[in-house]
A and B are shown apart, each in its own frame.
Chain A
Amino acid sequence: MTSLYDELGGAVAIDAAVDIFYRKVMADELLAPFFDDVDMERQAAKQKAFLTMVTGGPAHYTGRDMRRAHAHLVAEGIGDAHFDAVVGHLAGTLKELGVTDDKIARVGALAESVRNDVLNRDPAV
């Protein structure tokens, strides 16, 4: 099965998605404090990695990487509400780009599979 990443059009489409997604996150009071970086390019690069990963593109992160990348955020209090909000903006972004609902569901499932890693929880919980 080809990845949604390729179906969307690879890196170029992800660049367009980064803008839309980043803007949504910055406009969300729950999430904005975590993403408010003076170096917007650096932050956008991280979000590009995020979007590449959840659309099944060439990003090589392990569950361990996800735990490490978000550990300091968990310490600052992110939880399920933040996770759901991120996934919601992800779905909204893809919808704006004209992605069909079944494909959005596929991305949602991929994101869901790393919830415990991102929130640094024991998978059994």
Chain B
Amino acid sequence: MTGRIRRGNLDLVLEPGETALEGLLRGGAAVPSSCRAGACQACMLRAVSGDPGPLAQQGLAPALREQGWFLSCMSRPTGELVIEEGPPPAIGASIAAVTEIGPAIVRVRLEPDEDLSYRPGQYVQLIQGDQVRAYSLASSPAEGRALELHVRVHRQGRMSRWLAAAEPGTRVGLRGPAGACFYTEGRPEQPLLLVGTGTGLAPLRGIVHDARRRGHTGPIALIHGARDAAGFYLVDELKGMVDGPGNFRYVRCAMSGEPSEELEIGDLTQVTLRLFPSLKGWRVFLCGSPDRVNALKKQCFLRGAGLKDISADAFLTAEMPPPVRARARGA
């Protein structure tokens, strides 16, 4: 029997081989998705009734499975599947510490009420009152339950200013994780290029640590872009990693200033392509503002990186008015 999905006003019969996600998108539903391979969980939805199929709940926490949550990109229902409209549930968390780690950048440590299963490089939605912002996780589950976010404090940023001033013990809500920008095992020798702007460094740093922890042997290069030399942070830690074991290269790129042995000056995309003219066979991670990330993605693809080997996470800072399709994003 062919599958049929219903969600709100939508009611459609799936085509042979079509996933629930593909059907929903065909029907005009606005369902977020990213990896479309059952990894990132961005497309997670809840079944009110019906069976989403065996693959669709693989890897989900038992609690979520019990409630009917499933990954729509992996769901090929054979009967009728009724899907709930609305966002996934939130868990509670306490702010444990807020520390300044750079110019107008704070590190926020959170203690979630329950373990969050995530991959370094993914992001969470932080909920405070009626405000919701997405922040990349700079921590790793290997370091314990606590979560770490890097937050750029914007002069006009309601959430970021509130976070920077929050007392330990303050409660917030969390939703997630989401995002497909994370290290995947299977090709330990593959060279990795990570390029990010501003607090896009947080997920990239997490990915580098994760790759090494998982036994990555190939070369890893990290390029951090900022407006000027004052915009860099975690410099000593990253420089220390260059001297450590493994093949790690760290480049800082500022849009203006005096070039030096330590600092590249110029457009981030141009500098990246000059340093890495051929990316055939590389895995690429890009995090930062949408215009930078989109330009880099296209150029990395044209220089030989496979589309499936490019993971990009574009986010807006609170200072910019959010265009229609992009997520409002803090870090």
Q: Which residues of A contact B (CB under 8 A)?
A: 15, 18-19, 22-23, 26-27, 38, 40-41, 44, 58
Give A23 to B304 CA distance when docked, in angstroms. 8
B304 — which chain A residues lie within 8 A by C-beta? 23
Which one of A15, A23, A38, A58 contacts B301 once the chains associate, using CB atoms below 8 Å?
Answer: A23
Give A26 to B301 CA distance when docked, in angstroms. 10
Nearest residue in A to B298 (C-beta to C-beta)?
A: A40
Separation in Å of the A50 CB from the closest CB of chain B? 15
Apart from A19-B308, A26-B298, 6 more pairs, CB < 8 Å: A18-B307, A19-B301, A19-B307, A23-B304, A26-B302, A58-B17
Give A44 to B306 CA distance when docked, in angstroms. 11
Give A8 to B55 CA distance when docked, in angstroms. 27
Residue B76 lies at the interface, judged by CB distance under 8 Å to chain A: no
Once the chains bind, are A15 and B308 in contact (CB under 8 Å)?
A: yes
Separation in Å of the A109 CB from the closest CB of chain B? 26
Give A108 to B302 CA distance when docked, in angstroms. 25
Highest count of chain A CB atoms <10 Å: which of B294, B297, B306: B306
Pairs A-B, 8 closest by C-beta atoms: A19-B306, A38-B294, A44-B307, A19-B307, A26-B302, A23-B302, A40-B307, A40-B297
B306 — which chain A residues lie within 8 A by C-beta? 19
Highest count of chain A CB atoms <10 Å: which of B294, B307, B308: B307
Highest count of chain B CB atoms <10 Å: which of A22, A26, A38, A44: A38
Give A40 to B302 CA distance when docked, in angstroms. 12
Give the number of residues in B that approach A within 8 Å (Cβ atoms).
10
Give A26 to B302 CA distance when docked, in angstroms. 8
Nearest residue in B to A18 (C-beta to C-beta)?
A: B307
Give A44 to B17 CA distance when docked, in angstroms. 19
Give A23 to B298 CA distance when docked, in angstroms. 9
Q: Which residues of B contact A (CB under 8 A)?
A: 17, 294, 297-298, 301-302, 304, 306-308
B297 — which chain A residues lie within 8 A by C-beta? 40
B294 — which chain A residues lie within 8 A by C-beta? 38
Nearest residue in B to A58 (C-beta to C-beta)?
A: B17
A41 — which chain B residues lie within 8 A by C-beta? 307
Nearest residue in A to B34 (C-beta to C-beta)?
A: A41
Nearest residue in A to B297 (C-beta to C-beta)?
A: A40
A/B interface sample: 14 pairs, CB < 8 A: A18-B307, A19-B301, A19-B306, A23-B301, A23-B302, A23-B304, A26-B298, A26-B301, A27-B302, A40-B297, A40-B298, A40-B301, A40-B307, A41-B307
Give A68 to B294 CA distance when docked, in angstroms. 29
A38 — which chain B residues lie within 8 A by C-beta? 294
B302 — which chain A residues lie within 8 A by C-beta? 23, 26-27
Separation in Å of the B294 CB from the closest CB of chain A? 5
Give A49 to B301 CA distance when docked, in angstroms. 20
Give A18 to B308 CA distance when docked, in angstroms. 11
Separation in Å of the B123 CB from the closest CB of chain A? 18
Give A70 to B237 CA distance when docked, in angstroms. 53
Nearest residue in A to B290 (C-beta to C-beta)?
A: A38
Give A38 to B294 CA distance when docked, in angstroms. 7
B17 — which chain A residues lie within 8 A by C-beta? 58
A19 — which chain B residues lie within 8 A by C-beta? 301, 306-308
Nearest residue in B to A26 (C-beta to C-beta)?
A: B302
Nearest residue in B to A11 (C-beta to C-beta)?
A: B17
B308 — which chain A residues lie within 8 A by C-beta? 15, 19
Give A22 to B17 CA distance when docked, in angstroms. 24
Give A110 to B297 CA distance when docked, in angstroms. 33
Give A15 to B133 CA distance when docked, in angstroms. 35
B298 — which chain A residues lie within 8 A by C-beta? 26, 40
A40 — which chain B residues lie within 8 A by C-beta? 297-298, 301, 307
Give A92 to B155 CA distance when docked, in angstroms. 53
